[in-house]
Amino acid sequence: MVPVNLDREDVSSSFARSSANLGVDVLLEVLESEGIRHVFGNPGTTELPLIAALAGGGGPSYVLCLHEGVAVGMADGHARATGRPSFVNLHTAAGLGNSMGVLSNAVVTRTPMVVTAGQQDSRQLMAEPFLSGSLAEMAAGVVKRASEVHRVDDLGLLCRRAFRDAVSEPPGPVFLSLPMDLLQTETTAPVPPRSVVSSRTVPAEIGELARMIVQADRARFAVVAGDEVATSGALESLVRVAEKLGCVVYGTPMHSDLVFPTTHRLWGGALPADAVQMRAMLADYERLLVIGSRPFMTFMHRDAWPVPESVKLCHLAPSPTDLGRTYRAALGVVGDPAATLDALEPLLAPLAPADVAAARRAVEAASLERTASVERAVAEAEAAGEAGGRLHPLAAVRAVVAALPRGTSVVDEAVTNDPYVRMLLRADRAGGFFYSRGGGLGWGVAAAMGVSLARDRSPVAAITGDGSFLYGPQALWTAKREDIPVVAIVLNNGGYLILQRLLSEVLPEVGDASKAPGLVVDEPPVDIAALGRAFGCRAVRVSRLDEVGDAVRAAFEGSGPHLVEVPVSSPEAG
């Protein structure tokens, strides 16, 4: 995600207006001034006032999705690519319910979006009519804030507040329930103008932060970078600071944005989401500069604390709620990461050049060894060839990544094979990589479509697993309808392989985890390529390693959406 562009406060007026000042006109005026160009949704009866208003043209385009999870996924990708809130319109309780799996991702990744749902006519809510429900209560668990509009005169203020709340720290999705009769009711209340708010603050303790960093043992110092590096536009600033420090930069576990160029020799990769492994990696450090929220998030429970007690944390975050919440900070400071890193850079002048150079040589030597190790593993995977019609996933991912046109943004929902994508992807620019550490499946292809729309329909790759893809394959119908050049690359291992692995680790007495109920999705097998074609997309299945790169390149050379299915084995079977 890129930082909010404060130059967009005055958006040219282009929406059609009815002669009466109805609630729906108020909504459209807010959307216009907030720069909304797409309404992502799946409509029902309660959304008809908005649909009727949009039918006249001149307003935002309505992007029709066949499932609410797809609408939210597209809005998520769009907001993260632009750095501005996106807008979603769902249908009452049923539509909101369908969206919750993907909506839960946006809370974790702190994606700013305004999510609305049409409520039944407020004059009959006491009678509990068909499709009604306590929408704000339903949404409360998966959004930052949730409310319902009760008076048409409050509509403008509450809509404006929703957009402001979505981007205020910590950002996230905001829900608003819109009774359909209020959208058809006249109002004379003025629409509050859009505010311009700057949050690019530098902490008052910047000098103390610099002192703690300068005084640290250069060989025992590292940076842990979270998603806020990307969302604040601090990528280049962090590169400059890291080079001055000569230190390794790790990404937070399962980070969802590009937090440091993966081509840089100071990049150490993402910390593992395993407490025992993370503790071992951090054991030799004396001090860490931590940037962002939830920096040491783990997956399964382990009898270990991820951060050794001897490690002191200098923690920078834009929201005070992220400091000292779980891990003690020797110094916690509130500030915008980009502005703070820019202010920090000149304060690092006292560093001893010889110490920095020595530390950097050690980090670069480790980077070269890690690269050599990866290349050896890739060579072994490629030599393993094809087994039972399936490729080793490491070899398949290398072939996919190598075939991507330079500068292509990648949306990663490969799940089991996500470590391979992160290991091999060469990304060096902001917005080059997107992931969702929320973990709700069915997000990836839709998010890639949203990223593409945000970038004037530039091609985007969605690398996904078969389990993830099958949560929302109907996204391809919208991709075809809207002519969005997304390339869905489905690594098909025929099951929930990550669950099979975890079952074998946690309960080894079960035996062959592939025989456990509910963990295999190839009985009967799903023809994923045929499914793509059924939604109107060009699709191909490739089962030989030398075909993978050609298929990916051909997809990007074509127009519109494409699907490439690649059958893969488990790494152990390759």
DSSP string, 322-343: GSSSSS--SEEEE--HHHHHHH
Could you give the CA distance from residue 308 to residue 291 in angstroms, rounded to a whole number? 18
What are the extents of the domains in the chain?
A: 6-183, 206-366, 385-573
The whole-number pLDDT of residue 19 equals 42
Domains 6-183 and 385-573 share a fold: yes
CB 72 within 8 A of CB 93: no
At 58, list the tokens: 């001149």
Mean pLDDT for 470-480 is: 97
Q: What is the pLDDT of residues 31-79, one digit of tens each?
A: 999 999 999 999 999 999 999 999 987 789 999 999 999 999 999 999 9
pLDDT band at 8 (very low <50, low <70, confident <90, very high): very low
234-253: buried (b, 16+ CB within 10 Å) or exposed (e) per residue?
A: bbebbbebbebbbbbbbbbb
Taking only the tens place, the pLDDT of each residue in 527-573 is 999 999 999 999 999 999 999 999 999 999 999 999 999 999 876 54
The predicted pLDDT at position 507 comes to 76
Residue 501 in this model has a pLDDT that exceeds 70: yes
The yes-or-no verdict on residue 347 having pLDDT over 90 is yes
How does residue 133 score in pLDDT terms, banded at 50, 70 and 90?
confident
Task: Determine the average pLDDT of the residues in 418-438.
Answer: 95
382-419 pLDDT, tens digit each:
998 887 789 999 999 999 999 999 999 999 999 999 99
**C-alpha R_g of the chain:** 25
Does residue 3 have a pLDDT over 70? no
Architecture per CATH, domain 6-183, reads as 3-Layer(aba) Sandwich (3.40)
Residues 481, 482, 487, CA angle at the centre, nearest 5°? 95
Report percent pLDDT > 90 for the chain: 84
Does domain 206-366 sit in CATH 3.40.50.1220? yes
CA atoms of 398 and 198, how far apart (whole Å): 42
pLDDT value, residue 557: 96
Q: Which phi and psi angles does 16 have, rounded to 5°?
A: -70, 145
257 φ/ψ angles, rounded to the nearest 5 degrees? -135, 170
User: Is the pLDDT at 441 greater than 80, yes or no?
Assistant: yes
What does the pLDDT read at residue 571?
62
pLDDT of residue 363: 97
- State percent of the chain over pLDDT 70: 96
Tell me, what's the pLDDT at 282?
97
Burial string for 83-110 (b: 16+ CB within 10 Å, else e) reads: bbbbbbbbbbbebbbbbbbbbbbbbbbb
**How far is the CA of 259 from the CAs of 43, 269, 384, 510, 532, in angstroms?**
37, 10, 33, 39, 33
| Contact (CB, 8 A) for 503 and 453 | no
391: part of which helix (H) or strand (E)? strand 390-391
Average pLDDT of the segment spanning 305-319: 97
The class of domain 385-573 in CATH terms is: alpha beta
Residues 80-113 pLDDT 10s? 999 999 999 999 999 999 999 999 999 999 999 9
**The pLDDT of residue 14:** 38
pLDDT of residue 384: 86
Residue 505 has pLDDT above 80, yes or no: no
| 338 token code pair | 């980009």
Mean pLDDT score of the chain, rounded to an integer? 92
